[in-house]
């Protein structure tokens, strides 16, 4: 099983970006992902992502790499052809989706959830579930251009209104339409308290 020791050493701040791999996404969303990648690189942060060269994930990784940033891709072997591995950056090939998510989590200090589909949503919900269980304090920030994630926020609020989730959960994440606000929220949250428990 892959571990942090399989990655080249990095002493800085690492941001995991969850986002879509669809090649049919609105070009504005793809450009937003590229801008996010550049912003991460310009701040000296390491970009951790799913390893693909397609869709928003490919745009973010290529832009960060072109801007001189450190990029780490983590890709399950069975997706290498579908998501077209981006070989220009450091990449770890793992055996399963679970292993991919575990290593992405362990290698990151914060999470940005850019527009994406069910896979992106699944990744975001898992790190939020761990945060709900007080297993980590890492910032989770959604980039929601044109209200992309508003329906997700409404669902979480409905869960609170129906007594399924405590109101304090609304503090587990932030949602911003503007990328400057997204990056600012990550920077603000980077000094969060140490983990109170083991990671999972």
User: Given this model, what pLDDT does residue 80 score?
Assistant: 65
Contact 172, 107 (CB under 8 A): no
Spatial distance between the Cα atoms of 24 and 44, rounded to a whole number of angstroms: 30
82 Cα distance to chain centroid: 20
User: Given this model, what pLDDT does residue 196 score?
Assistant: 42
Contact 179, 36 (CB under 8 A): yes
Containing 142, the helix (H) or strand (E) segment is: strand 140-143
Contact 195, 136 (CB under 8 A): yes
The pLDDT tens digits of the residues spanning 76-121 come to 888 765 656 677 899 999 999 999 999 999 999 999 999 999 999 9
154 Cα distance to chain centroid: 21
**Residue in 91, 15, 9, 105 with CA at minimum distance from that of residue 53:** 91
132 Cα distance to chain centroid: 17
Spatial distance between the Cα atoms of 82 and 145, rounded to a whole number of angstroms: 26
The pLDDT tens digits of the residues spanning 108-163 come to 999 999 999 999 999 999 999 999 998 899 999 999 999 999 999 999 999 999 99
Contact 30, 55 (CB under 8 A): yes
Residue 66 confidence (pLDDT) above 80:
yes
Domain 12-189, what architecture? 3-Layer(aba) Sandwich (3.40)
**Residue in 62, 60, 84, 89 with CA at minimum distance from that of residue 73:** 89
- Does the pTM of the predicted model rise above 0.85? yes
Cβ-count burial of 37 within 10 angstroms (0-12 exposed, 13-18 middle, 19+ buried)? buried
Q: So where are the chain's domains?
A: 12-189
Spatial distance between the Cα atoms of 167 and 179, rounded to a whole number of angstroms: 26
């Amino acid at each position: 099983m892959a571990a942090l020791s399989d990655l080249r050493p990095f002493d800085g701040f690492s941001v995991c970006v969850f986002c879509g791999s669809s090649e049919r996404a609105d070009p504005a969303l793809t450009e937003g992902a590229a801008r996010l990648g550049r912003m991460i690189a310009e701040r000296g942060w390491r970009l951790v992502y799913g390893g693909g060269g397609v869709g928003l994930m490919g745009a973010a990784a290529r832009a960060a790499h072109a801007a001189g940033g450190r990029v780490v891709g983590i890709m399950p072997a069975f997706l290498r052809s579908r998501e077209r591995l981006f070989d220009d950056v450091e990449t770890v090939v793992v055996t399963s989706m679970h292993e991919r998510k575990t290593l992405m989590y362990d290698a990151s200090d914060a999470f940005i959830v850019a527009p994406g589909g069910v896979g992106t949503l699944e990744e975001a919900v898992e790190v939020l579930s761990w945060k709900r269980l007080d297993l980590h304090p890492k910032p989770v920030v959604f980039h929601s251009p044109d209200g992309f994630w508003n329906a997700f926020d409404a669902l979480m609020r409905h869960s609170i209104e129906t007594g399924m989730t405590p109101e304090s959960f609304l503090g587990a994440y932030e949602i911003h339409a503007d990328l400057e606000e997204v990056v600012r929220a990550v920077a603000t949250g980077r000094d969060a308290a140490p983990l109170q428990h083991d990671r999972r």
